[in-house]
Amino acid sequence: MRQSRWTPSLIPADEPTVYLVADDFGKAGRAWREADLETADLESVIQDLLAGEYRRPIRVIAFNTAERRSEDVSEDVAREIQRRCDLQLSDVPSHLQEFVDRYAAQDLRQFCLRLV
């Protein structure tokens, strides 16, 4: 009898990209925040950040086990937070200001043009 060397994958082929936030709890330390799989998508994470669900976010990581990739997306998330606040003509919430300053500050430089 012939034996197959094929083994089924434990990871579903349609695995979504998951976004996790590292949060700073002050004296209690830093930790990756717990998240439901259904609410670990990018939009939910950005909405939770804006709503104050995280105390002092440090970093946002995206990973997809099916694609075998992970990536620090903190800069992209910080830019999106800044963009949404700009569109609403509001300031970045105080609990996110340090995060946005750290990751999106280089894009916020204003250039002066000389009037001729």
The answer to whether residue 77 is domain-embedded is yes
Residue found by looking up tokens 């349609």 in the block: 14
Question: For residue 61, is it within any domain?
Answer: yes
85 lies in some domain: yes
Q: Is residue 37 part of a domain?
A: yes
Domain count, the chain: 1
Strands 30-32 and 57-64: unpaired
| pLDDT one digit per residue (tens) for the chain, 116 residues | 555 554 444 555 578 899 999 999 999 999 999 888 888 999 999 999 999 999 899 999 999 988 889 999 999 999 999 999 999 999 999 999 999 999 987 554 444 555 55
pLDDT at 37: 83
pTM of the model: 0.77
Query: Does the residue 103 lie in any domain?
Result: yes
The 3-class secondary structure across the chain, one letter per residue, is CCCCCCCCCCCCCCCCCEEEEEEECHHHCEEECCCCHHHCCHHHHHHHHHHCCCCCEEEEEEEECCCCEEEECHHHHHHHHHHHHHHCCCCCCHHHHHHHHHHHHHHCCCCCCCCC
Res 16: pLDDT:
87
* CA atoms within a 13 Å half-sphere pointing along the CA-CB vector of 19: 19
12 within a domain of the structure (yes/no): no
Residues 6+ apart with CB under 8 A from 95: 52, 54, 55, 56
Q: Give me the domain span that covers residue 49.
A: 18-107
**pLDDT at position 109:** 46
Is the residue at 79 inside a domain? yes
